[in-house]
Structures are given as C-alpha cells and as structure tokens.
Structure 1
C-alpha cells in the first residue's frame, strides 16, 4: 500500500486503542477492505517485527503492508 492510500485510509478511520507497537482503528464509515473489497470492522497496525495478538473472537483477516508495518483488516 502506498503512502497516499495509507494516509487516506487512516485519516478516515476512528482511532480505537494503542498498546505497545499495535494500534487499532475502527471502521465507522464502512470503507471497503483493499484486499477483498468488502467493508471491514477494524484495522490493526503492527509496527514491530514480531507482535502477538490475543483474539477474543473468531475473525476473518485480510493482510497487506505499508512500509515495514503489517496491516490486518478484521471481518466479523
């Protein structure tokens, strides 16, 4: 994902939570996922080389990257 697309995406989302190197945004405007083109629920940005996520529910995930960050798009 290029810088312009990433900046446009993040500026349209609502920041939700930040814990260490993981930041979560909520999709309150029903933007389409860049991977599957369906609306997604949350964007999880993982900034470190290694991150651990503890999921409390089963989710479908789409994945892409920006610079060295991994971007996870969640679908419930």
Structure 2
C-alpha cells in the first residue's frame, strides 16, 4: 500500500486501542477493504517485527503491508 492510500485510510477510520506494537481502528463509515473490496470491521496495524494476537471470535482476515507494518482487515463472520 502506498503512502497516500495509507494516509487516506488512517484518516478515515476511528482509533480504538494501542498496545504492545499493535494499534486497532474501527471502520465506522464502511470503507471498502483494499483486498476484497467489501467493508471491513476493524483495521489492525502490527508495528513490531513480531506480534501475537488473541482472537475472541471467528474472523475472516485480509492482509497487506505498508512500509514494515502488517495491516490486517477483519471481517466478522
């Protein structure tokens, strides 16, 4: 994902939580996922080389990168 697309995305989602190299954002305006083009629920940005995620529900995930960060787009089942 290029810088302009990333900046547009981050400016359009709502910050939710940041902890341990992981930042989450809520998609409150139904932005389309860049991978599957369907609205996503949350954006999870993994900023560290290694991250661990504990999922409390079954999700579909779409993935891309920006610089060295991994971006996960969640889709609740």
TM-score (norm: length of structure 2): 0.98
**Structure 1 residue runs without a partner (length 5+):** none
2:60 maps to which residue?
60
Alignment RMSD (CA, Å): 0.3
For 2:48 and 2:19, locate their aligned partners in 1 and report how far apart those are by CA, in whole Å: 12
* 1:1-76 correspondence to structure 2 within 5 Å: 1-76=1-76
**Structure 2 residue runs without a partner (length 5+):** none
Hey, which bits of structure 1, 4+ residues long, moved more than 2 A? none
Equivalences, count: 76
TM-score (norm: length of structure 1): 0.99
